[in-house]
Structure 1
Amino acid sequence: MLRTWLTERFRLDVPLVGAPMAGVSDGRLAAAVSAAGALGMFGVPATASASWIAEQAAVAADSGRPYGIGLMAWVLQDDPGQLEAVLAARPSLASVSYGDYARFVEPLKRAGIAVATQAGTTDEARAAEQAGVDVIVARGGEGGGHGRDDVATLPLLQSVLDAVGVPVLAAGGIATARGLAAVLAAGAEGAWAGTAFLGCAEATLSEPARRRVLDTGETGTAYGRVFDVAQRLAWPPEYGGRALRNPFFDRWHGREDDLAADDAAPAELEAARRTGDFDTAYIYAGQAVGMVGRTRTAADVVADFAAADKLLGRFGTP
C-alpha cells in the first residue's frame, strides 16, 4: 500500500483526491470516492446557497471517511455565506482557488480544516506557500474545468516541487494508475483527478452528457472563455476552462468581445442546457477524457488507481 503525506493526513488507502467539479461532483460522488479509500470532494457552484452546501456536506460525510469541499475565491468575495457554510460543515479539506483566496486561508485553518489551492504556474505555487496553505495542487493545462493553460502538468510539477516546501499534489491529465505512479515517482504526494470520474454512475451528469463524455476521444477538448462569457460569469480572465469542443465553442472562440455584446447567446446556451443539446451546451473535461470509455462506479475507478503501487513496485519504489 502506498504511503504519502496525503494518505497519512487523511487516513486514505490510495493517494488520490477526487477533484471538486462544480455541477458534476456533489455529496453523493464525494461519499463514494471517500468510501472507496480516496478523498472525495464536491464542488460548490457559483450560485449555490449555504443550505445546499450543508445538505451536500451531510451526504458526503455519510461515508464516515474524510471528504472535502471546493470553493471559488471570486465567488466568496460577494457571497461570504458559502464560506460560513463550509466552516460550519468542517470538512477535512477545503480548496479555495481562482481569485483572492489568501484571506480565506486562516479562517479555514482556525476551524481545523486543511486548505489547498490550485496553482497553474510556479509563481502561483510560491504565492500559495506564502499564503499558508497546507497543500498545493499543481494543475497543468491538460486539466478539465477551470484553470490556467500556461504550463503542462509534468513540467509544472517538476518546477513546483523544486520551488516549495509544502506538500504538492499533481492535477491535469491523470486518469489511470499509470498517471498516478508517474507523479508519485516525481515526488508528488498524490494526484487530484476529475475527468476520470466523469463517467461514474454517482456523478450528476445527465445520461446524454455522460454518453457524450464516453464517446469523446483524446483530442475532443478545447480551452477558452467562451462558455464563461456566454453565461456572463465573473471568472478572472486568466482562468479559462477546458471543455468538450462543440459548434457553439467553435463559433465564438476568438470572438469573445462580440459574444459579450450578443444578447441572444446567453439565452441560447441556457436553453441548450435545459434540453441537453450538447452541440451548444458545455461539458467540462480534460484531455484524459479519451480514457473514459464506459460507465463505472467510483469504487471501480479508485480501485484502478490503486494499482499504481504495483507499477512503482516494478522499480523497487513501492
Structure 2
Amino acid sequence: MWLTEKFGVSVPLVGAPMANVSGGKLTAAISVAGGLGMLGAGSGVSADWIRTEGAIAAASGKPYGVGLMAWSVKDRPEHLDAVLELKPALVSLSFGDYTPYVGMLQKEGIVVAMQAGTVADAREAIEVGVDVIVARGAEAGGHGRNAVATLPLLQAILDLTDLPVLAAGGISGPRGLAAVLAAGAAGGWIGTAFLTCHEALTPEPVRERVIEAVETDTVYGTVFDAASRAGWPDEFGGRALRNPYFDTWEGREEELKADDTGHADYVAGVRAADPARTSIYAGQGVGALTTQTSAAAVVGSFAAYRTYLQAALNDGAK
C-alpha cells in the first residue's frame, strides 16, 4: 500500500491538517499511533509557530506533514520558508495558485499533495505535477468546494490518474475507510474524527458542542470567512456546525465583510470559544463523535477497516 511504502504507516490514513485543531501534539500522536499526522498551519499563525509546532511533531521520530493554503502562502511566504526548513515528509498545498511552490518542495524531497474538489481540479494538479491527490468531497469539514460528494468524486479521479488518491469527506470510522480503500483509494484523509481528541487544540466548549452534534447539523457557506476577514477566497467556502451567528448573516455575506460590529462579535466569539458565535468546522461524519478520546484510540478504531473489507470479500460473512 502506497502510504505504508512511502511513510511507514500501519493504518492507511492521514490526519487532515486542521487550523486551530492540529498542532504539533495531535500531529505527533497520530503518527505515533500508526497514521500520518498533519500540522494545520492556518493563515493567522506565525512562521515561528510553524517551526515550534513542527518541532513537536518531528520529536516523535515518525514522519509527519504540514498543510498550507496557496492563497495564504502568497501573502505569507515566510510560512513556506518555515516548512522548507522543517522538511516534513508531506506537504498539502491547495486553495489558490499552488503552482509556484510544488517544485520547490519536491526539490527538498517532500511529497506534495493537493486537495481536489472536482475532476477539473484533479486534472490541473496532474498537469502541475503533484505527487498525490486528495479527492475532497462536499461532505468534508473545513474549507473546500461544495460541488461533488466524496464517492462520485473519488471514482472519477481514480479513473483519471495512476497517481495515489486519498479520499476525504464523511469517512467517520472503519466502515468508511474500508469503502474508499475497496474503491481503490490509497487511504483516507481524516479530519472530523480527531476534533475531540485530548491532543487537539479544540477548546472545551467547542468539544462539547461537537459531541452533541448530529450529522444534519453542518452547513456550508462563506459567512465565517466574511466575519473573520482572514482572506479566504469566496470560491472556497467551509463546512461547519450551524449556529445563531451563521443564521443571522447567511445571505448577507457582502454586508458582513464591511460590518465592523459583526466582525467584532465574531472575533469575541472565537476568543471566548462560544459555540453560538464561533466557527466550528466539521464534516457530515460529526454525528459519530460521542466522547473525548485519544488520537491513538481513533487511529486504532480505524484499523478495524480490515474486518469490513474481509467481510465484503466473503460475501458479507464475518
- Number of the residue aligned with 1:43: 40
What does 1:3-42 correspond to in 2, within 5 Å?
A: 4-42=1-39
Q: Which amino acid aligns with 1:101?
A: Y
Residue 44 of structure 1 and its aligned partner are, at CA, apart by 0.4
- Number of the residue aligned with 2:103: 106
Moved over 3 A (4+): none
What does 1:1-318 correspond to in 2, within 5 Å?
A: 4-316=1-313
Matched-pair contact (CA < 8 Å) for 2:44–2:230: no
Q: Which amino acid aligns with 1:57?
A: G
Q: Quick one: distance in 2 between partners of 1:179 and 1:7?
A: 19
Q: Which runs of 5+ in 2 are unaligned?
A: none
Q: Quick one: distance in 2 between partners of 1:30 and 1:276?
A: 22
Q: Which amino acid aligns with 2:264?
A: A
Question: What is the CA RMSD across the aligned residues, in angstroms?
Answer: 0.9
Q: SS where residue 77 of structure 1 aligns?
A: helix
Q: SS where residue 254 of structure 1 aligns?
A: coil
Residue 193 of structure 1 and its aligned partner are, at CA, apart by 0.5
Q: Which amino acid aligns with 1:229?
A: A
Residue 11 of structure 1 and its aligned partner are, at CA, apart by 0.6
What does the per-residue CA deviation read over 1:116-137, in whole Å, with 9 as the maximum and x for residues that have no partner?
Answer: 0100000100110111111000
Q: Which amino acid aligns with 1:264?
A: T
Q: SS where residue 314 of structure 1 aligns?
A: helix
Moved more, 254-263 or 23-32: 254-263
Percent identity over paired residues: 57
Residue 225 of structure 1 and its aligned partner are, at CA, apart by 0.1
TM-score (norm 2): 0.97
Q: Quick one: distance in 1 between partners of 2:236 and 2:248?
A: 20
Q: SS where residue 245 of structure 2 aligns?
A: helix
What does the per-residue CA deviation read over 1:250-302, in whole Å, with 9 as the maximum and x for residues that have no partner?
Answer: 11111112212212111001111122221111111011000011111000000
Residue 165 of structure 1 and its aligned partner are, at CA, apart by 2.0
Residue 232 of structure 1 and its aligned partner are, at CA, apart by 1.4
Q: Which runs of 5+ in 1 are unaligned?
A: none
What does the per-residue CA deviation read over 1:83-120, in whole Å, with 9 as the maximum and x for residues that have no partner?
Answer: 01000000000001100011110000000100001000
Q: Quick one: distance in 2 between partners of 1:290 and 1:124?
A: 29
Aligned residues: 314
Q: SS where residue 138 of structure 1 aligns?
A: strand
Moved more, 232-241 or 85-94: 232-241
